[in-house]
Structure 1
Amino acid sequence: MAGGAQAESVAKYAADVPENVLTSDVVETDSLGTLEFFDGMPKPETVSNIYDNLDLIRSTTAFLDGMKIASLRGLLMGYASEGVAPNDILIHSGLMDARSLWLTPNTTTIYVGAHLDTSQGPMVMDVPAGLLGILDDAAFDYVTDIGALGPDKGEGGKYLILPPEYEGEIPDGYFVFESKSYDHWLVLRASPDPDGSTEGPVAKIKERLNIYPLAQADNPPAENFHDATGRQYNTVHANNFHFFEEIDAALQANPTGAFSPELLGIFAAIGIRKGQPFAPDARMKKIMTEAAAIGNATARALTFSPRDPGVFFYEDRQWNSPFQRQSHLFLEDGARMLDDQTFFFYYATGITPAMTSPPVGAGSIYEVGAKDVNGDYLDGSKTYSVTLPGPVPAKNFWSFMVYSGQTRSILETDQKSGGVDSNSPDIVANEDGSYTVWFSQQPPEGKEGNWVQTLPRKSFHVLLRLYGPLEPWFDKSWKPGDFIPVK
């Protein structure tokens, strides 16, 4: 606090006012400069300055804390751009590649997705056996697992998704879930056949998988499948002013109960309300554009250069994850770890408890590598090696996938796989059972089967996945190596 001293009161009933309660007539701040008051009342120029700053704070908070909503909306908008109507099914029958922009997908499993919409009433999902999936709501909150980690235990079955406050009859024979939103993202994955072909698994999916209204359960309509293999489309949320338009679209499409009152309050403070047009004036649009830039930079720092030791799995490694606290709600000691939440939703999609603490030998774990052993960002102009000591504690298989520092989707190269895994036909183990993988523009001589392509002047980051992680992973007796620059 700065400025003139408070005049001593001469009132008969004068209080002994502590200095820390008073506001001086002139207050100097590093962020906002000089703030001026008349005996505690902010002067007009200060009021204007303060409200601009408050709108910037609220808008930046809306970006960071509303990211999960925009992320799910981005997926639904991406599907719509491919002509996939709500409750139709999108499938990558020929596996994923870099032409389709998704947050950190893999290229080893068959992806199936849908915009499940209950705005017209309860919806049935008839799911075949052998799939692994998740259903999340419009706030990107968890609804249920599907498949081996869901109530059908991998045997398939019928799921009934009820809209909010549904009061109708609920028939027997379904796995029933009531949701707080109308919009949902369904994502399912299936494994190719042992020879790598996808025709058989895709045929089985199309034979049974169906999403239809409960009202048509006696005579379900045929499902509409849309094959997105090799298609150029985007499911990643915006990082500019358009982000707030995505938030508005989500609010208009869902009941207010789909989102927390705190988030709705943040959105309302910047002019985003259900049932009202979102039409910021020039001043507010400029502020929100700046907030998106600040929020985007903040999310990138939290994701690629985290300062919290709690996200690192090992004290002496660069590998990290927003799930180190093993909570899909990002809770620790009753507190929501907002930086972890931002990290996850900026980087990935699909929220489920199974991603945070899978049973030993089931599910999968994910670790992010964006820096080398020296703490420098991974650079596609350089060559790196990384070694996984043997035996790698994965019951099923392990994989490395490489992603763009810009899009967080598969790095665009001439290598369709965008990575390598223990099922790759040409991968070679070291004599001691460990595996060394090389990341570079061209494969080192004799290392072609253990090579992942990068591009010059392009940043990249890598996800290490262990499918069916075993005890040495959990007790940390096994450690993956860091990225080592090779000269």
Structure 2
Amino acid sequence: MQNPTKQAQILPTTGTIDTPIGPLTFEGGYPTSESVAKLYDQLDFQRAVQTYLWAIPLVSFACWQEAQETVFGQEDGDLVLITSFRDRLGVLTCNATTPYLMGFLNLQRTGPLVIDYPKGMTAGGILDFWQRPITDLGLTGPDQGAGGKYLVIAPGQEVPQGAEGYRVVHSPTNNLFHALRVLATDPQEAEALSASYQAYSYADRENPRKTRIIPAADKPWSGWPANVLEYWRLLAKMLNEEPVHERDRMMVAMLKSLGIEKGKPFQPDARQQKILEQGAIVGEAMARSLTYAKRQPEAYTWPGTNWANMIQLEANQETEHYTALDERTAWFYEAVTLSAGMTTKTPGMGQQYMSTKKDKVGNWLQGGNHYTLNVPPNVPVKQFWAMTLYDTETRCFIDNPHEIAGLDSRMDLITNADGSVDLYFGPTAPTGKEKNWIPTVPGRGWFALFRFYAPTEPYFDRTWSLPDIEKII
């Protein structure tokens, strides 16, 4: 029996309709076989794009972990020491001066893990594999520089008997990132503090394996998947190693039709492989748009300029009503790790990151051009400021024979009479201004990151600002 009330129809009962994915044909209300195939392909393609964006922080860490294990021979509890320009070419938007001591581990392999943290001038931390901070260590952590033993517990693990005296930390993921930064300026003290850091299985506490500090030694490596299918292989690997959190269940459901399912090997058929490849290409292009052309008006801190605050989310990646998906995608596509110190709004604490991808007239920054930036006097920082350039495609240092990636206020820069500093960017140095120059490479785009270390009130109340980068020739 027909419904006597005629409803407005979007799709034809019989016939063809043009849509953004091409024509769709119906017969008696049913989509034809050809249209069904097209719709399923489009459904899975859209799911591939969206899950690509969702998984960026997880896959980024998974790729980095695999590189440290295969390139540097890092085992659970070890730290890799990254110091030189060449060492840093694999790290997304790292700074140009601070030595890094960083490692990855898997709590299902180690069982409950002890981190015996040294007393002294250090800052460290533990992040889960969605790059959310679990706890700080050292001066900014619960020990406040006094050191002590932390006991890290994975999902499903019990706190062992006899664990009194440990600071117990529960991790929402099995895989972890842990890092140490030595703040002591005396080289011998710094070396002693680094050597004192120990991470080992609680079960081996009576005779623990010694944590190794492994120099990166200029070995070439990359912290980003080498090809599109590698991205999905790493995601499938992580899905099998990690619990599925409630907030992610719908996204994990989208992966099933793409050949990625918890508890099963990653073996996409030819159709799925093609869709995954296409989804990764479009997904990364969307990630670049979210990163390099932010559409949140609040990101542009100084009205009338192209400088944007790189971090548009809190350390836990949540807002009152939703997970900060676009903001998370933008940050973790061009960077790694996030902490409370990087998001604090307290003057004189932490860091702030401003980035620009365009010059004063709104054109993308290109490596074959010459540019200048006037850094006004009295930069609002208690510690120092730093300017670093990165390659648009790799999001790492611009690989150049001069091995120069950045400049900072602690260097012997040429200063103007009013206290301002003119910086220069281009494939060749301006005569007499070599101290203030950062090289670029023709044919490759680049972007700039200006770091404020311990920013003061004029940064937050916007009474101080950076002008745009200007093209010279």
Q: TM-score normalised to the size of structure 2? A: 0.93
Q: Which amino acid aligns with 1:152?
A: D
Matches within 5 A, 1:84-483: 84-92=74-82, 94-97=83-86, 100-119=89-108, 120-128=110-118, 129-169=120-160, 171-191=163-183, 193=185, 199-200=187-188, 202-238=190-226, 240-257=228-245, 260-324=248-312, 326-332=313-319, 334-424=321-411, 426-483=412-469
Distance 1:80 1:258, change over 3 A: farther
SS at match of 2:233: helix
Distance 1:80 1:423, change over 3 A: same
Q: Which amino acid aligns with 1:136?
A: L
1: CA distance, partners of 2:189 / 2:360: 40
1: CA distance, partners of 2:309 / 2:9: 42
Distance 1:387 1:192, change over 3 A: farther
Which range moves more in the overlay, 78-87 or 461-470?
Answer: 78-87
Q: Which amino acid aligns with 1:300?
A: R
Q: Which amino acid aligns with 2:225?
A: H
Matches within 5 A, 1:54-73: 54-73=43-62
Distance 1:118 1:96, change over 3 A: farther
CA deviations over 1:17-49 (Å, ceiling 9, x no partner): 421576543352342222122332222111101
| Cα shift at 1:358 | 4.5
1: CA distance, partners of 2:147 / 2:165: 12
Which range moves more in the overlay, 433-442 or 400-409?
Answer: 433-442
SS at match of 1:34: strand
CA deviations over 1:246-301 (Å, ceiling 9, x no partner): 10111222234498212322222322122211111111111111111111111112
Q: Which amino acid aligns with 2:181?
A: R
2: CA distance, partners of 1:314 / 1:298: 25
* 1:79 is aligned to 2:68: yes
Identity %: 29
- What is the root-mean-square deviation of aligned Cα atoms in Å? 2.2
Q: Is the 8 A contact 1:361 1:468 kept in 2?
A: yes
Unmatched 5+ stretches in structure 1: 1-10
Q: Is the 8 A contact 2:349 2:454 kept in 1?
A: yes
Q: Is the 8 A contact 1:160 1:174 kept in 2?
A: yes
SS at match of 2:124: strand
| Cα shift at 1:453 | 1.3
Q: Is the 8 A contact 2:195 2:213 kept in 1?
A: no
| Cα shift at 1:386 | 0.9
CA deviations over 1:164-212 (Å, ceiling 9, x no partner): 1222336232322111211011133234737xxxx43551233311100
Unmatched 5+ stretches in structure 2: none
Distance 1:330 1:114, change over 3 A: closer
Distance 1:138 1:333, change over 3 A: closer
Which range moves more in the overlay, 159-168 or 110-119?
Answer: 159-168
| Cα shift at 1:417 | 3.9
Distance 1:483 1:177, change over 3 A: same
Q: TM-score normalised to the size of structure 1? A: 0.90
2: CA distance, partners of 1:103 / 1:477: 31
1: CA distance, partners of 2:184 / 2:34: 65
Q: Which amino acid aligns with 1:251?
A: L
Q: Is the 8 A contact 1:368 1:462 kept in 2?
A: yes
| Cα shift at 1:144 | 1.7
Q: Is the 8 A contact 1:181 1:257 kept in 2?
A: no
Q: Which amino acid aligns with 2:62?
A: R
2: CA distance, partners of 1:421 / 1:31: 49
Q: Hey, what does 1:7 align to over in structure 2?
A: none
